[in-house]
Amino acid sequence: MKKLKFLIISNCGIDKATVKGLDVLSSLNQLKSVRLERLISPLSGKQSIQALQNIEKLSLSLCEGFDYIPTFNSLQDLNLNSNNNLPASIGKLEQLEYLDISLCEILKELPKEIGQLKTLKELNMRECSNLTMLPSTVCELHSLKLVTGDETIGKQWLRAKNTSIPELNVQIVEAYFSLDWLDI
């Protein structure tokens, strides 16, 4: 396990699930990519998550209840405001190159500390329907090459591109609704 570089925890059930026991992550020094899907409170602040400081790819697709994401420098509890937003400590992930917060409908805003992610190259924020405003600090993300989002947030990224991130490619996607699952 000490050589593990990629970890996926995906809930395949109908309801979202809570995962406990992620304190094992503290011993995974080689861990570079974590993908958590359809989970409630995917990371617990009472657990040692020091390995996340070296993370390059983080996917929190379809997750909710970010109340317990730890601060990444002190590994103490971080209480988010009641809006269930990403924690300010996300800015401490200095190696982060890819962030996927797609389908996280509970997110209402990004923290201003998102601008501290100087190595961030790609951000997937499609179908985050409650996310309507970007902090001004996104203009500091000069390494950012690709953002995927809906029309509302996409227009804001286009303004950021025009003012300070000329190399940015903004992909605006339409919301996709399918009833194909009814044919089962």
Averages of pLDDT over each 10 residues, the chain, 184 residues: 82 76 70 79 45 78 57 35 63 90 84 93 90 90 94 89 92 73 62
Say if 164 falls within a structural domain. Answer: yes
Query: For residue 112, what is the domain's CATH number?
Result: 3.80.10.10
Tokens, residue 128: 């985050």
Say if 165 falls within a structural domain. Answer: yes
> Alpha-carbon distance 45 to 75, whole Å?
7
Say if 11 falls within a structural domain. Answer: yes
Say if 139 falls within a structural domain. Answer: yes
- Contact status, residue 100 vs residue 90, Cβ threshold 8 Å: no
pLDDT at 26: 65
Say if 1 falls within a structural domain. Answer: no
> Alpha-carbon distance 33 to 57, whole Å?
5
Say if 54 falls within a structural domain. Answer: yes
Q: DSSP letters along 18-58, please? A: E---GGGGGG-TT--EEEEESEES-S-TTS--GGGGG-SEE
3-state secondary structure of 163: helix
The dihedral through the CA atoms of 94, 154, 41, 59 has a sign that is negative
pLDDT at 70: 39
Domain that holds residue 107: 6-183
Category of 34 on φ-ψ map: left (φ > 0), alpha (ψ -120 to 50) or beta: beta
pLDDT at 177: 60
Query: How many domains would you assign to the chain?
Result: 1
Angle at 71 between CA 68 and CA 73, to 5 degrees: 155
Say if 33 falls within a structural domain. Answer: yes
pLDDT at 41: 59
pLDDT at 17: 77
Report the Cα–Cα distance between both ends of the chain, in Å, rounded.
38
- Contact status, residue 126 vs residue 102, Cβ threshold 8 Å: yes
